[in-house]
Structure 1
Amino acid sequence: MSNQIIVTTGIYDAIKETLRRKKVSIHEEKRLATELRNARQVLRRDLPADIVTVERKVTLKDHTLDFEHEYIFVSSTREKLKKNKYSILSDIALAVVGYKVGDIIDWPFKGGNRKIEILKVEAWEE
């Protein structure tokens, strides 16, 4: 697993705002606060292609629930679950944002801890 997440300043600020508004569980809040303290902020053009962020199609394997799923992470205003578009501030996105292909993350979801592996990250455009 990466030592630090890599995020754009916009994503960093959006996560900070989510924490400020208490939109996550206390366990998620502690984890996200720690990740943000250690995060590396970069410009969008400097973000590596294999990092999970907004406007990317991401394939994840949930080792705890034993399934694979593809997600398209979009801005909160463009979320459409029926079209597989999840807000970058959704629970699953917050767990993996800033991580890269190959990382395995143990995350304290509201329903309990789960182990998520990032299998693939691709650019996505509508």
Structure 2
Amino acid sequence: MSTKLILTTGIYDLIKDHLRRKKVTKSQEVILTEGLRNAKQVLRRDLPKDIVSVNNILRVKDVSTNDEIEVKLVAPDKAKFKKDKYSILSNLGLATVGKAVGETVEWPTATEIKTYQILATLPID
């Protein structure tokens, strides 16, 4: 079982709105609803540096393939897949946001359950 999510109020509200608009699968909705129910909300300045959030460079390992992936997690309107800028509301963003470096997370996609180990998160300059 993973630890409690730590989210800024803005990210909390963004995910809550995403859920309200039914933009996720049923299994994702269950995971996110439970995560939000138990989440700790903090101010941006109080967010620990090892917690995945928006405007971070995220490095994860896909456990099934052992491939390492590095992307920039950005606001939905800034996402550019070809530049490795993923929306915080993408599958990878939702799977990891609010989690700490070192955690392993499982995330159901439309076709499979992905397992990621969070290796690093750094602020985008």
- TM-score, with structure 2 as normaliser: 0.96
Q: Distance in 2 between matches of 1:48 and 1:15?
A: 19
Aligned to 2:78: 78
Q: Distance in 1 between matches of 2:122 and 2:11?
A: 18
SS at 1:69 equivalent: strand
- 1:2 deviates by 4.1
Q: Distance in 2 between matches of 1:65 and 1:27?
A: 23
Q: Identical aligned pairs, as a percentage? A: 47
- 1:63 deviates by 0.5
Aligned to 1:9: 9
Aligned to 1:54: 54
Aligned to 1:88: 88
Q: Distance in 1 between matches of 2:54 and 2:79?
A: 11
Aligned to 1:22: 22
User: 1:63-103: per-residue Cα shift (whole Å, max 9, x none)?
Assistant: 02331100100111111111110111111100000001000
Q: Distance in 2 between matches of 1:56 and 1:3?
A: 20
Aligned to 2:105: 105
SS at 1:116 equivalent: strand
Q: Distance in 1 between matches of 2:103 and 2:46?
A: 20
Question: Where in structure 1 do 4 or more consecutive aligned residues deviate above 3 Å?
Answer: none
Q: How many residues align?
A: 125
- TM-score, with structure 1 as normaliser: 0.95
Unaligned runs of 5+ in 2: none
- 1:28 deviates by 0.2
Q: Distance in 1 between matches of 2:117 and 2:16?
A: 24
